[in-house]
């Protein structure tokens, strides 16, 4: 590994660490500008003054702010996100319980986005300005403009209540026992335990939310991939390959797609980061028991410890995604190392 | 007369593209509805909350094109009034975000050094979490409601403008005409106002057009989650949130407000795309 690359990687990782610290500060500031009194919230609606004061001491809210901040950072370092004021449960435990459902949904949505978006992008670049290109363009713009929660309701109306092919919402029917967790991803667990009927049922529940979640991601993968492919197909080496008698299929899939892949990978990484944010809407529509639904129900109750926990997790995921994209660029594109 | 010619070219380029035309039509319709709203709605007293339980949850008909909701309000009326609210909020968020972000960005790009470093790191910080989640966190702290939702969205929206203005200012700073103005003794403020701002205007207009659409979507999303406008405010997202409880029998209640969100966001996005093609021909690819 040359020195420029090492320096670039070190700088980028250092910056990510700094950003993480910044994010922790930001969540702390947001928690402390809240006009509502968390101690009063914790003590309950009927609490008297002394009970509120007791709650304040119990949660350490009577300490000076710098001390509270140090405690906050220390707790986070041990994976302790504080306790939900409404339920008294540990936010860390709750997050661990809800995160796999969100991850499962996001992974499936990303698979759909990549497996449909990349081929469609290639196809519309190759058949540029043809009917397929126009249809995919409208499709791509819709993906960005369509309110995900409305799209979800429409799909529920069509496929769940209308045609009756798929269940409306939830992760599994109440009658079905979920497989014993191995990975936490239910579909994977069902396969590992050989419970194929649970797998099929789980799939019927996850497919609609996954489609809704994948739509904006699919649209931007499609657009970026198409743009890059159009650009690459114009390059001299493609003309050279053509002149050498390389078959069109090999030329598109091997020569052109490989060179268009880096920006596509970048958008995939970026979209992975964004996905955890739009999952909030999708999970609400489909009652999907993930961190998004958890954040929204807590936010409505004014219980902000869980919301901050989710914000930190989503932010961390976003930072890791963009870090990986940048590192990938650094390794694959030598020009960047000089910056 | 150079301007009319350029204008003619711009109009030609806009009208040539079907997508841009669709964008213009959609934005014009939404603007028209927002401006004329109170005059043209069929049931003006339904806005204030005159309850008409005898007519609740009627399916679409000649009297109620979009049907009625659970208290007998005409949904068409409420959707049209909602256009006014969404547009105001969308434009308000975008303008406020630009008003905070653009000066900071130009400052960062022109002054450079530790000032730029400080501004850009602060910007990065806000961009390190996807906007919607940060907005939810802010609303959780501030309390739900349309005003707090707006404040939260402005707070997560301005960093994008810093990035844009900073990169424009950086590239413009290197231009010879800025050097020339400086040598000629123009004060910094004048350089900023007369040279840097006009030259960064076109990407700014494009971004703002797109952002109005995205801000409308974001406000509707918060409304849908129960963190934005509170019913009975005729806000599109909040309407859908109530309408969810009336699916699938009373499908029209959720479908029409959503269609308007979609049309508005689509319109502003297409308009932004079309404007980019005109204002910045180099960005046109494919």
**Residue pLDDT, tens place only, B227-253:** 888 877 888 988 888 888 887 878 888
Reduced to 3 states (helix: H, G, I; strand: E, B; else coil), residue B252 is helix
Average pLDDT, integer, range A155-161: 86
Angle at B77 between CA B74 and CA B82, to 5 degrees: 125
Is the residue at B189 inside a domain?
Answer: yes
Answer yes or no: is pLDDT of B61 > 70. Answer: yes
Average pLDDT, integer, range A284-292: 91
| B266:A145 CB<8 A | yes
A–B: how many Cβ contacts below 8 A?
Answer: 157
Average pLDDT, integer, range B250-257: 84
Tell whether B251 lies on the interface with A, counting CB pairs under 8 A.
yes
Sign, CA torsion A186/A191/A194/A200: positive
Is the residue at B268 inside a domain?
Answer: yes
Phi-psi region of B43 (alpha: psi -120 to 50; beta: other; left: phi over 0): beta
DSSP labels, A190-230: HHHTT-HHHHHHHHHHHHHHHHHHHHHHHHHHHHHHHHHHH
d(C-alpha B101, C-alpha A274), whole Å: 22
How high is the pLDDT of residue B48? Answer: 65
Reduced to 3 states (helix: H, G, I; strand: E, B; else coil), residue A1 is coil
Give the total residue count for chain A: 339
Q: What is the pLDDT of residues A270-286, one digit of tens each?
A: 899 889 888 999 999 99
Task: Please give the radius of gyration of chain B, using alpha carbons only, rounded to the nearest integer.
Answer: 22
* Token reading at B222: 């918060």
Tell whether B127 lies on the interface with A, counting CB pairs under 8 A.
no
Q: What is the pLDDT of residues B185-199, one digit of tens each?
A: 888 778 877 777 777
| Complex ipTM tops 0.90 | no
Q: Which of B134, B140, B229 to mutate to test the interface with A (most CBs of A within 10 A)?
A: B140
Mean residue pLDDT across chain A: 84
Instruction: Please name the residue that has the structure tokens 């103005």.
Output: B181
For position B211, which CATH number holds?
1.10.3720.10
Number of compact structural domains in chain B: 1
How high is the pLDDT of residue A339? Answer: 47
- Domains of chain A are 3-35+81-163+213-338 (1.10.3720.10)
pLDDT band at A45 (very low <50, low <70, confident <90, very high): low
Average pLDDT, integer, range B167-172: 83
* Token reading at A101: 């459902």
How high is the pLDDT of residue B284? Answer: 46
Is the residue at B23 inside a domain?
Answer: yes
Average pLDDT, integer, range A58-67: 76
Which of A59-68, A129-138, A233-242, B200-209 has the least mean pLDDT? A59-68
How high is the pLDDT of residue B1? Answer: 46
Which of A187-196, A277-286, B81-90 has the least mean pLDDT? A187-196
Q: What is the pLDDT of residues B264-284, one digit of tens each?
A: 999 999 888 888 877 765 554
Q: Which of B16, B136, B267, B268 to mutate to test the interface with A (most CBs of A within 10 A)?
A: B136
* Token reading at B209: 């057009």
Cβ partners under 8 Å of residue B84, min gap 6: B33, B34, B37
pLDDT band at B23 (very low <50, low <70, confident <90, very high): confident
Tell me how far CA of residue B243 lies from CA of A166, A240, B53, B233, in angstroms.
Answer: 21, 59, 16, 13
- Cα dihedral B211→B216→B217→B220 (10° resolution): 160
Reduced to 3 states (helix: H, G, I; strand: E, B; else coil), residue B285 is coil
Strand extents, DSSP E, chain B: none
d(C-alpha B88, C-alpha B235), whole Å: 11
How high is the pLDDT of residue B179? Answer: 82
Sign, CA torsion A93/A94/A95/A100: positive
Answer yes or no: is pLDDT of B255 > 60. Answer: yes
Answer yes or no: is pLDDT of A113 > 90. Answer: yes
d(C-alpha B47, C-alpha B239), whole Å: 13
Q: What are phi and psi of A18, to 5 degrees?
A: -60, -40
Which residues in chain B touch residue A295, judged by CB atoms under 8 angstroms apart? 133, 136
* Nearest-neighbour CA in chain A from B180: distance (Å): 28
- Which of A120-134, B65-79, B145-159 has the largest mean confidence? B145-159
Which of A40-49, A171-180, A190-199 has the least mean pLDDT? A40-49
Tell whether A299 lies on the interface with B, counting CB pairs under 8 A.
yes
Which residues in chain A touch residue B134, judged by CB atoms under 8 angstroms apart? 311
Answer yes or no: is pLDDT of A338 > 60. Answer: no
d(C-alpha A204, C-alpha A169), whole Å: 10
pTM of the entire predicted model? 0.86
**Nearest CB to B221 within list A161, A281, A319:** A281
Which residues in chain B touch residue A38, judged by CB atoms under 8 angstroms apart? none
Instruction: Please name the residue that has the structure tokens 């594109």.
Output: A333
Domain span including residue B198 = 5-48+65-284
How high is the pLDDT of residue B95? Answer: 95
Q: What is the pLDDT of residues B110-164, one digit of tens each?
A: 888 899 988 988 888 888 888 899 999 998 888 888 998 999 999 999 999 999 9
* Nearest-neighbour CA in chain B from A302: distance (Å): 5
How high is the pLDDT of residue A292? Answer: 92
Answer yes or no: is pLDDT of B90 > 90. Answer: yes
Which of A39-53, A205-219, B161-175 has the least mean pLDDT? A39-53
CB A257 within 8 A of CB A272: no
* Nearest-neighbour CA in chain A from B266: distance (Å): 5
Average pLDDT, integer, range A69-77: 83
Mean residue pLDDT across chain B: 83
Cis peptide before B107 (omega within 30 of 0): no
Average pLDDT, integer, range B20-33: 89
Instruction: Please name the residue that has the structure tokens 């004061």.
Output: A53
């Amino acid at each position: 590994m040359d020195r420029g690359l090492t320096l670039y990687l070190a700088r980028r990782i250092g910056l990510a660490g700094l950003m993480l610290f910044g994010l922790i500060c930001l969540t702390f500031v947001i928690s402390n500008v809240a006009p509502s009194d968390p101690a009063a919230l914790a003590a309950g609606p009927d609490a008297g003054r002394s009970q509120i004061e007791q709650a304040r001491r119990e949660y350490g809210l009577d300490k000076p702010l710098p001390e509270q901040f140090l405690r906050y950072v220390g707790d986070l370092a041990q994976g302790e996100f504080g306790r939900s004021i409404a339920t008294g449960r540990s936010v860390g435990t709750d997050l661990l319980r809800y995160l796999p459902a969100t991850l499962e949904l996001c992974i499936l949505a990303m698979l759909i986005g990549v497996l449909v978006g990349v081929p469609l992008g290639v196809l519309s670049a190759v058949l540029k300005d043809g009917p397929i290109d126009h249809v995919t363009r409208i499709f791509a713009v819709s993906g960005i403009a369509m309110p995900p929660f409305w799209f979800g309701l429409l799909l529920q109306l069509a496929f769940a209540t209308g045609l009756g092919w798929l269940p409306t919402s939830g992760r599994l029917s109440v009658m079905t026992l979920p497989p014993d967790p191995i990975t936490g991803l239910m579909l994977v667990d069902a396969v590992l335990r050989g419970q194929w009927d649970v797998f099929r049922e789980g799939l019927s529940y996850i497919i609609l939310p996954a489609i809704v979640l994948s739509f904006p991601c699919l649209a931007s993968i499609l657009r970026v991939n198409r743009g890059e492919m159009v650009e690459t197909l114009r390059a001299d080496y493609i003309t050279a390959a053509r002149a050498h008698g390389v078959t069109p299929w090999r030329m598109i899939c091997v020569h052109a797609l490989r060179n268009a892949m880096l920006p596509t990978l970048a958008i995939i990484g970026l979209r992975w980061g964004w996905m955890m944010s739009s999952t909030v809407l999708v999970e609400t529509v489909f009652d999907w028991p993930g961190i998004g639904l958890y954040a929204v129900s807590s936010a409505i109750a004014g219980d902000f410890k869980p919301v901050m926990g989710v914000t930190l997790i989503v932010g961390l995921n976003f930072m890791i995604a963009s870090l990986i994209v940048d590192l990938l660029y650094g390794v694959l594109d030598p020009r960047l190392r000089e910056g | 007369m150079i301007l009319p010619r350029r204008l003619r070219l711009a109009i030609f380029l806009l009208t040539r593209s079907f997508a841009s035309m669709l964008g213009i039509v959609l934005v014009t319709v939404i603007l028209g509805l927002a401006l004329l709203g109170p005059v043209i709605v069929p049931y003006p007293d339904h806005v204030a909350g005159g309850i008409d339980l005898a007519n609740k949850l009627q399916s679409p008909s000649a009297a109620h094109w979009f049907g009625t909701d659970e208290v007998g309000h005409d949904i068409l009326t409420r959707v049209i009034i909602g256009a006014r609210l969404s547009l105001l909020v969308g434009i308000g968020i975008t303008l406020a975000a630009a008003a905070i972000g653009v000066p900071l960005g130009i400052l960062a790009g022109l002054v450079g050094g530790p000032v730029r470093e400080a501004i850009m790191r602060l910007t990065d910080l806000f961009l390190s979490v996807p906007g919607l989640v940060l907005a939810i966190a802010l609303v959780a702290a501030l309390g739900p409601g349309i005003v707090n939702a707006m404040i939260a969205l402005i707070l997560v929206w301005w960093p994008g403008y810093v990035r844009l203005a900073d990169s424009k200012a950086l590239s413009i700073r290197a231009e010879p005409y800025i050097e020339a103005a400086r040598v000629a003794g123009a004060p910094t403020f004048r350089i900023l106002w007369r040279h840097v701002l006009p030259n960064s205007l076109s990407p700014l207009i494009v971004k703002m057009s797109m952002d109005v659409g995205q801000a409308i979507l974001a406000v509707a999303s918060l409304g849908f989650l129960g963190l934005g406008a509170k019913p009975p405010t005729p806000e599109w997202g909040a309407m859908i949130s109530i309408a969810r409880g009336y699916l699938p029998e009373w499908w029209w209640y959720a479908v029409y407000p959503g269609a308007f969100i979609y049309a508005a966001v689509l319109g502003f996005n297409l308009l932004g795309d079309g404007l980019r093609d005109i204002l910045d021909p180099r960005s046109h690819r494919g």
